[in-house]
Amino acid sequence: MVNHTIARIYRIEFVMGKRNLVARRAVDMIRALHKWCATVAIMAAVLSAVHIAVYPDSAAATPPMASVSEARIAGDAARTRFVADLDRPVSYSVYVIDKPYRVVVDLPDVRFNMPPETGDTGKGLITAYRFGQLAPGKSRIVLDTTGPVLIEKSFVLNPESGQPARMIIDIVPTDQRTFARIKATERPTRTAAASPVQPAPDTLAELLKREGVARIDEEAERAEHAEQAASLIPKPRPKPSQSSAPGILTALAGGPAAPRVRPVIVLDPGHGGIDGGTVSRKGTPEKKVVLAFARELRKKLLATGRFEVHMTRNDDRFISLGKRVKFARAKKADLFIAVHADSLRQRRVRGATVYTLSEKASDAEAAALAEKENNADFIGGVDLGEDAGEVAGILLDLALRETKNHSIYFARRVVKNLKPVTPLNRRPVRSAGFKVLRAPDVPSVLLELGYLSNRHDEKNLVSSRWRRKAAGAVTAAIEGFFSPEVAARQQLAQ
């Protein structure tokens, strides 16, 4: 375009006999502009070439997600090796935890191209292992062990001679005392992706040598734990008035608070990520059907315009039981609903059940279910020792008794509303010691939608039509539970 403009100016200059001063000045300006544009273009090309030379990765497309194609175990009770084949080297962290004893491997987001039953059997010090996505951008492998173990070596091998890249973890047995001492002082071992010259991996002897270097100030740690424990004790709230529905909170301890017109509902789709929950014979995973139901329930609750609704997870990620409870309390929830689906060997058993919290289970089946659901943290590789102090503090709180009464009241409402739209269990209201229901100041229930082991229930659970009907029934139960309270809150707000 610049060259075309110069040509036109030249023609004007020729016609005017070069007597037009304005034309000559215009030609000079265009020539200067043309030289400037050419200079800028050359500089841009040079800078681009330099950037690509210094940062070659920026010129390439984002590398695809790494994948694990196979995993295997070798060795015996004296030393056991875990090997995972990858299409390319990745960085990862590996560490040990107890209660029960496990080895946890945290990786970036990788694709596991292995059958679901992979890892069901073990060898040597490893009894079984499982794998899956923990959260967006993060995956995890958990190795169950026969007892306390330590990581002797951990490293990554580059692909070579037709062999894939390999992540290798060697573990050796130890005693409880040594395990506790090492675990208290070590940090997760971070292993970078393999390089052409690979450094020698850390050995157990080096780990023991470093033990005295990473000491934590015990007095500071105790003070920090005491402060955290104090923050977990719920502040007392005034008892609801006799004329109001359960759960009206007119003020918080420490001064009056502005009343919220809309009650806060927290929906908790169970399992997720590495913890798939129960799986039907057809391969339907619990974590997917409960997430779909929770989304439908949220949609219907929001459509009423009467509630503020939050979900502990809205995608396929793992969340520990303790974090689910903390989430509900952080949102100052007025009601917490955990959504699950059960599975039994007796395939004829079917129907929805609503559970509330009780340290003494209502029956053996409820106790077995609570034990299974409470294992979610174990499956996800969570250090179960972290929440012991919090659970103890929660159970000692007197507010829990009143919260339990409100939870039972709501559970009965849910059963009443579900009865016309879906089959119910022969004992639809039960109780057991579910960890996820232990928020002391939030009425909480665990809704088992049905049994994936029963073909009729499974058909319902994967049906969008059934979800709409069942979610509508639960929404009606929630509206009924809060109807007097909403009116009272509106009056307070006015």
Per residue in 304-363, pLDDT (tens digit) is 999 999 999 999 888 888 889 999 989 999 999 999 998 887 888 999 999 998 766 656
Look at 142-156, 180-194, 282-296 and tell me which has the smallest mean pLDDT.
180-194
At 126, list the tokens.
């490893």
Do 286 and 380 reside in the same domain of the chain? yes
Give the distance from CA 270 to its chain's centroid: 11
Q: Give pLDDT, residue 62.
A: 53
Do 115 and 36 reside in the same domain of the chain? no
Residue 48, C-beta contacts closer than 8 angstroms, at least 6 positions apart: none
Do 174 and 301 reside in the same domain of the chain? no
On the question of pLDDT at 7 being above 60, the answer is: no
At 411, list the tokens.
């559970």
25, 276, 295, 367 from 343: Cα distances, Å: 88, 13, 22, 14
Do 39 and 72 reside in the same domain of the chain? no
Q: Give pLDDT, residue 450.
A: 93
* Contact indicator for 140, 134 with CB cutoff of 8 Å: yes
Per residue in 207-255, pLDDT (tens digit) is 444 433 333 233 333 333 433 443 333 333 333 333 333 443 333 333 4
Q: What is the CATH number of the domain that holds 130?
A: 2.60.40.3500
Do 78 and 160 reside in the same domain of the chain? yes
The reply to whether 219 falls in a domain is no
Per residue in 357-381, pLDDT (tens digit) is 876 665 666 566 656 555 554 545 5
Do 257 and 386 reside in the same domain of the chain? yes
Q: Give pLDDT, residue 297.
A: 97
* Contact indicator for 85, 118 with CB cutoff of 8 Å: no
On the question of pLDDT at 200 being above 80, the answer is: no
Q: Which is more confidently placed, 21 or 180?
A: 180
Tell me how many degrees the CA angle 75-78-79 measures, rounded to the nearest 5.
45
Per residue in 108-120, pLDDT (tens digit) is 888 899 887 788 8
Q: Which is more confidently placed, 34 or 322?
A: 322
Q: What mean pLDDT comes out for the span 35-49?
A: 59
On the question of pLDDT at 123 being above 50, the answer is: yes
Domain-ending residue, one of 209, 225, 256:
209
If you compute the radius of gyration of the chain from its CA atoms, what whole number of angstroms results?
Answer: 31
DSSP string of 301-336, one letter each residue: HHHHTS-EEEES-SSS----HHHHHHHHHHTT-SEE
Q: Give pLDDT, residue 38.
A: 60
On the question of pLDDT at 198 being above 80, the answer is: no
Q: How many domains does the chain have?
A: 3
Do 20 and 131 reside in the same domain of the chain? no
Q: Give pLDDT, residue 14.
A: 44
Do 32 and 106 reside in the same domain of the chain? no
Q: Is 463 left (phi over 0), alpha (psi -120 to 50) or beta?
A: beta
* Contact indicator for 159, 167 with CB cutoff of 8 Å: no
346 vs 294: CA distance, rounded Å? 26
Q: Which is more confidently placed, 404 or 78?
A: 78
Do 377 and 417 reside in the same domain of the chain? yes
Q: Which is more confidently placed, 298 or 152?
A: 298
Query: Please, what's the b/e burial string for 334-369 (b: 16 or more CB within 10 A of its CB; e: otherwise)?
Result: bbbbbbbbbbbeeeebbbbbbbbbbeebeeebbbeb
Q: Whole domain around residue 8: which residue ranges?
A: 2-59
Residue in 89, 109, 110, 112 with CA at minimum distance from that of residue 160: 89
The reply to whether 215 falls in a domain is no
Do 374 and 486 reside in the same domain of the chain? yes
Residue in 290, 309, 291, 289 with CA at minimum distance from that of residue 299: 309
* 3-class DSSP assignment, residue 398: coil
Beta carbons within 10 angstroms of residue 437's beta carbon:
29
